[in-house]
C-alpha cells in the first residue's frame, strides 16, 4: 500500500484497549471487526455457551450485539432487528457473595435464583432506561409501556414484595417508567441481601425469611415474553448476554443450567460467556445439560488455535480498522514490518542448506531447508550474544503467533509498542513500528509474564506458608515445569535433530494426582493449552499440553508453526516439576530423543531418561 500524508494524531494510541462496557455504540461500531462468521451460533436463536480466555473478544462481541450498535450496523429501526440483546455482566464481587454460603442449608436454590432473577431483571430495566433516553421509539409507545408496568407490578406483588410501590404519574415518559421498574428490582434484590447479612450475626439457626421470592419461570421469563410482545420490539427473541458466568457460585451455575434446560429459545435465548472456568453443567434436578441438545457451544480458543490463518485474518482486519480510525493507511504487515536484515540472513542459511554447505537431517530438500534455516541462524548467534546479537521478534505474523489466539494479547503488545514509539523523542514517523521496538516490547512482555506476574502469585502464597521451604507450592511447581519445558524445547531448537520445532508435551502414561493438578493449574492460568492426540500405542487418546506462545521469547524459541511434541512419562514430569536444571541437563544427554523427536501424528516409543540413552 502506498504511503500518503495522513492526519495522524500521534498522541492517540490506535491500540488502546478499552472496556467494551464503557464505550459508546459508535466507538464499538467503529472498532468491531465482524467475527460472527467464526461464531455464527452466538447471533442465532438458541442457548449458547461462548467459552474463551480473558481478552479473546467475547465482551466486544456482546457489545456489538446490543440494540444501539445493531441500529448502526443494520441501519434498521428496532422492530426490524433479528434479536434484542441485553448485557448482563457478572462481576466477581457481585452475585457471588461470600456470605451466601450461609444459605446453603436454607433454600440455597430458591434464594440464589431470586438473586439472579432480580439482578438480571434490574439490569434489563436499567439498560432500557439508557436506551430509551437515546431513542425516541420508546417514548412513541408510552401507552404500551404504561400497560406493561401494570403487569410488572402484578408480578412483583405475586413474588411477595412488600416494599414501596411508586405511583406512575400520567405524564411519565419511557425512561422514568423503566427506572421505576429498575428500582423495584433493586428492592427485590435487597430483600435477600439484607436477609443474608442478618444471618451473619446469628449462629445455628435461621430466622424466617419474609421477603420476596422471584423465580425464572414465574417472574423473569414471563416479564421478558411480555416485553418482547410490545409492538416496538423486534419480532424476535430476547438475548440475555451473560458475561463471565464463571464468576457465579456453584448453586447459581446450577440454576443457570436449569434455565438452559428450558425450551424458551424462541422467546428468550441465553448467551453465556465464560473464561474457561465454568465447570458445572448440572441442573437442580441433577441431570446435566448437554450440547447440542440443550445448547450450542463455541470456544474461541479452539477456533483460533486450530485455524491460525483465520485468527491472523481477524487480527489483520482489526489492525487495519484501528489504523484507519487513527488516520494511518497501512496494512498490518506494513505497520509491523519484519526485520529485513534478519530475514536476509535466515535466507542465506536456507541457501547454504540447499547448496549442501550446511548438512541437515533432510539433506538439501528446498522446502525443509527453511524449517532448519531459522534454527541454524539462532545457533550461529549463540557465540555472538555477548556482542548484543540475538534473534529479533518482529513482524506482524510473529506478534500474531505470540498473542496465542487472544486478541487482547495482541492489542496489548501493539499498544505498548506504540507507546514506546511515542516515548522516543527522535521519532517522526508514527506510521510504522520499527523491528527493534517490536523486539524489545515482545521480549519484555514475555519475561514479565514469568518474572513478574507469575512470581507475584508465588510470593503471595509463599508468604502465607512461611517456613515451609521444602514443601513447594503448586505455583512454584508449575513455574518449574514451565522452565523445564522451555529449557527442553530450546535444547531441541538448537540441536542438529530432524524435528526442531517442539512446543508441546504429550503424556505417555497416566499422570498422578500431583502432576495432574499442576497441569490443570497451568491450563487455568493460561500457560498451557490442553488438547488430545492419539497415544503411543495407537489404542486411544492421550492429553497434550501446548506451552503458551507468549512465553516463546522468554526461552528464545521460535513462535511460529510448532509441529512436534515430546512424549513424556509421569516419572519424568515429576523430575521436571521438582528440578528444572536437572531435568534440562538430563534431557540434553538424551541424544537419541533430540535426534528423532516426534512429529505430529507419528508418535513413537521411548522414555525421556531411559538408561540406554545415556
Partner 1 sequence: MAEALEKILKEKSKSEPEAFPNSSKGYYKRYASFSDYLNNEVHPFVNQAAMVLDIEKGLGFLTDHGPGHIQTVMRRAWDLLGHSSNVLSGYEVYMLLTAIHIHDAGHIRTGRKGHEKASRPLLNAQLGADSVENAFIYSIAEAHGGEVVPGDRDKLARLVPRPFASKKFNMPFLAALLRFADELADDYTRAARYVMGEGGIPHPSEVFHAYAFALKSVDVNLEAKEVQLSFYLSPDDATREFGKLESKVYLLDEILDRTFKMYHECLYCMRYFPAELQINAISVQIEFMGDSEVHQPINYRLKESGYPKLHAQHPSELCGKDLMIDGRVIDGITLKERIEKKIQEHV
Residues that bind partner 1 (CB under 8 A): 105-107, 109-111, 157-160, 205-206, 208-213, 215, 217-218, 221, 258, 262-264, 267, 284-286, 290, 292-294, 534, 538, 601
Q: Answer yes or no: are the C-beta atoms of 324 and 344 closer than 8 Å.
A: no
Smallest gap from residue 252 Cβ to partner 1 (A): 17
Q: Which is nearer to partner 1, 5 or 285 (CB)?
A: 285
Q: Which is nearer to partner 1, 293 or 386 (CB)?
A: 293
Cα separation, 574 vs 291, in Å, equals: 36
Q: Which is nearer to partner 1, 206 or 609 (CB)?
A: 206
Smallest gap from residue 225 Cβ to partner 1 (A): 9
Cα separation, 231 vs 283, in Å, equals: 34
**3-state secondary structure at position 87:** strand
Report the alpha-carbon angle 64-66-70, nearest 5: 70
Smallest gap from residue 49 Cβ to partner 1 (A): 15
| Cell output for 233 | 420490539
Query: Which residues are CB-neighbours of 79 under 8 A, at least 6 positions away?
Result: 231, 232, 233, 234, 235
Query: Which residues are CB-neighbours of 471 under 8 A, at least 6 positions away?
Result: 465
Q: Which is nearer to partner 1, 214 or 478 (CB)?
A: 214
Q: Which is nearer to partner 1, 107 or 354 (CB)?
A: 107
Residue 512, strand partner residues: none
Q: Which is nearer to partner 1, 13 or 258 (CB)?
A: 258
Q: Which is nearer to partner 1, 87 or 219 (CB)?
A: 219
| Cell output for 580 | 528444572
Q: Which is nearer to partner 1, 210 or 387 (CB)?
A: 210
Smallest gap from residue 285 Cβ to partner 1 (A): 5
Q: Which residue has the cell 464503557?
A: 22
Smallest gap from residue 105 Cβ to partner 1 (A): 7
Which stretches of 262-339 are DSSP H helices?
300-306, 308-325, 332-335
Smallest gap from residue 350 Cβ to partner 1 (A): 30
**3-state secondary structure at position 599:** strand
**3-state secondary structure at position 373:** helix
Smallest gap from residue 160 Cβ to partner 1 (A): 4
Q: Which is nearer to partner 1, 291 or 516 (CB)?
A: 291
Smallest gap from residue 294 Cβ to partner 1 (A): 8
Q: Which residue has the cell 439457626?
A: 205
Q: In what order do the strands lie in the sheet with 598-599?
A: 528-534, 541-547, 502-507, 564-568, 598-599
Smallest gap from residue 200 Cβ to partner 1 (A): 18
* Total H helices, total E strands in the chain: 22, 10
| Cell output for 168 | 406512575
Q: Which is nearer to partner 1, 110 or 180 (CB)?
A: 110
Q: What is the separation, in whole angstroms, between the first and last Cα of the chain? A: 56
Q: Which is nearer to partner 1, 208 or 383 (CB)?
A: 208
Smallest gap from residue 47 Cβ to partner 1 (A): 13
Q: Answer yes or no: are the C-beta atoms of 364 and 356 closer than 8 Å.
A: yes
Q: Answer yes or no: are the C-beta atoms of 596 and 499 closer than 8 Å.
A: yes
Q: Which is nearer to partner 1, 161 or 349 (CB)?
A: 161
Residue 298, strand partner residues: 50
Q: Which is nearer to partner 1, 99 or 290 (CB)?
A: 290
Each residue of 538-556: b (16+ CB within 10 Å) or e? Answer: eeeebbbbbbbbbbbbbbb
Q: Which is nearer to partner 1, 267 or 572 (CB)?
A: 267
Burial of residue 14 (number of CB atoms within 10 Å: 0-12, 13-18, 19+): buried
Cα separation, 174 vs 87, in Å, equals: 19
Q: Which is nearer to partner 1, 13 or 249 (CB)?
A: 249
What does the radius of gyration of the chain's CA atoms come to, in whole angstroms? 28
Q: How far is CA 402 from the centre of its chain?
A: 15
Smallest gap from residue 205 Cβ to partner 1 (A): 8
**3-state secondary structure at position 505:** strand
CA atoms within 13 Å, Cβ hemisphere of 603: 23
**3-state secondary structure at position 462:** helix
Cα separation, 586 vs 316, in Å, equals: 42
Length of the chain: 614
**3-state secondary structure at position 49:** strand
Cα separation, 559 vs 398, in Å, equals: 7
Amino acid at each position: 500500500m502506498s504511503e500518503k500524508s495522513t492526519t495522524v494524531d500521534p498522541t492517540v494510541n490506535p491500540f488502546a484497549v478499552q472496556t467494551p462496557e464503557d464505550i459508546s455504540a459508535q466507538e464499538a461500531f467503529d472498532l468491531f471487526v465482524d467475527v460472527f462468521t467464526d461464531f455464527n451460533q452466538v447471533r442465532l436463536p438458541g442457548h449458547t455457551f461462548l467459552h474463551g480466555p480473558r481478552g479473546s473478544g467475547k465482551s466486544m462481541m456482546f457489545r456489538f450485539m446490543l440494540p444501539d450498535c445493531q441500529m448502526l450496523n443494520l441501519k434498521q429501526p428496532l422492530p426490524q432487528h433479528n434479536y434484542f440483546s441485553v448485557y448482563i455482566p457478572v462481576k466477581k464481587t457481585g452475585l457471588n457473595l461470600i456470605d451466601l454460603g450461609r444459605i446453603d442449608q436454607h433454600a440455597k436454590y430458591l434464594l440464589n435464583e431470586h438473586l439472579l432473577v432480580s439482578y438480571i431483571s434490574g439490569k434489563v430495566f436499567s439498560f432500557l432506561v439508557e436506551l430509551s433516553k437515546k431513542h425516541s421509539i420508546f417514548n412513541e409507545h408510552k401507552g404500551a409501556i404504561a400497560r406493561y408496568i401494570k403487569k410488572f407490578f402484578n408480578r412483583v406483588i405475586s413474588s411477595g414484595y412488600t416494599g414501596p410501590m411508586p405511583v406512575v404519574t400520567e405524564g411519565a415518559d419511557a425512561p422514568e417508567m423503566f427506572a421505576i421498574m429498575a428500582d423495584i428490582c433493586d428492592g427485590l434484590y435487597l430483600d435477600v441481601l439484607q436477609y443474608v447479612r442478618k444471618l451473619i450475626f446469628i449462629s445455628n439457626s435461621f430466622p424466617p425469611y419474609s421477603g420476596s421470592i422471584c423465580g425464572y419461570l414465574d417472574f423473569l421469563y414471563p416479564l421478558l415474553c411480555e416485553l418482547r410482545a410490545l409492538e416496538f420490539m423486534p419480532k424476535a427473541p430476547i438475548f440475555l448476554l451473560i458475561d463471565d458466568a464463571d464468576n457465579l457460585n456453584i448453586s447459581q451455575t446450577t440454576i443457570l443450567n436449569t434455565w438452559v434446560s428450558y425450551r424458551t429459545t424462541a422467546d428468550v435465548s441465553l448467551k453465556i460467556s465464560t473464561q474457561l472456568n465454568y465447570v458445572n453443567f448440572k441442573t437442580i434436578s441433577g441431570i446435566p445439560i448437554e450440547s447440542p441438545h440443550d445448547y450450542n457451544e463455541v470456544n474461541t480458543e479452539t477456533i483460533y488455535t486450530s485455524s491460525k490463518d483465520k485468527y491472523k485474518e481477524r487480527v489483520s482486519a482489526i489492525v487495519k480498522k484501528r489504523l484507519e480510525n487513527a488516520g494511518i493507511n497501512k496494512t498490518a504487515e506494513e505497520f509491523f514490518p519484519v526485520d529485513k536484515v534478519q530475514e536476509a540472513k535466515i535466507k542465506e542459511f536456507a541457501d547454504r542448506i540447499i547448496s549442501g554447505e550446511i548438512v541437515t537431517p533432510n539433506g538439501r530438500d528446498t522446502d525443509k531447508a527453511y524449517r532448519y534455516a531459522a534454527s541454524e541462524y539462532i545457533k550461529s548467534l549463540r557465540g555472538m550474544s555477548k556482542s548484543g546479537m540475538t534473534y529479533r521478534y518482529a513482524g506482524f505474523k510473529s506478534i500474531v503467533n505470540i498473542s496465542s489466539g487472544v486478541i487482547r494479547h495482541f492489542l496489548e503488545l501493539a499498544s505498548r509498542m506504540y507507546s514506546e514509539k511515542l516515548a522516543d523523542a527522535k521519532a517522526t514517523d508514527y506510521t510504522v513500528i520499527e523491528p527493534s521496538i517490536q523486539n524489545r516490547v515482545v521480549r519484555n512482555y514475555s519475561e514479565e509474564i514469568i518474572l513478574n506476574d507469575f512470581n507475584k502469585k508465588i510470593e503471595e502464597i509463599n508468604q502465607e506458608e512461611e517456613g515451609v521451604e521444602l514443601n513447594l507450592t503448586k505455583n512454584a511447581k508449575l513455574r518449574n515445569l514451565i522452565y523445564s519445558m522451555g529449557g527442553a524445547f530450546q535444547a531441541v531448537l538448537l540441536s542438529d535433530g530432524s524435528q526442531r520445532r517442539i512446543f508441546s508435551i504429550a503424556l505417555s502414561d497416566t499422570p498422578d494426582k500431583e502432576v495432574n493438578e499442576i497441569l490443570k493449574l497451568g491450563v487455568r492460568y493460561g500457560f498451557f493449552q490442553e488438547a488430545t492426540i492419539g497415544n503411543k500405542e495407537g489404542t486411544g487418546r492421550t492429553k497434550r499440553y501446548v506451552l503458551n506462545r507468549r512465553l516463546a521469547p522468554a526461552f528464545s524459541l521460535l513462535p511460529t508453526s510448532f509441529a512436534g511434541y515430546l512424549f513424556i512419562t509421569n516419572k519424568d514430569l515429576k523430575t521436571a516439576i521438582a528440578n528444572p536444571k536437572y531435568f534440562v541437563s538430563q534431557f540434553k544427554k538424551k541424544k537419541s530423543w533430540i535426534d528423532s523427536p516426534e512429529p505430529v501424528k507419528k508418535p513413537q516409543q521411548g522414555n525421556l531418561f531411559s538408561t540406554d540413552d545415556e
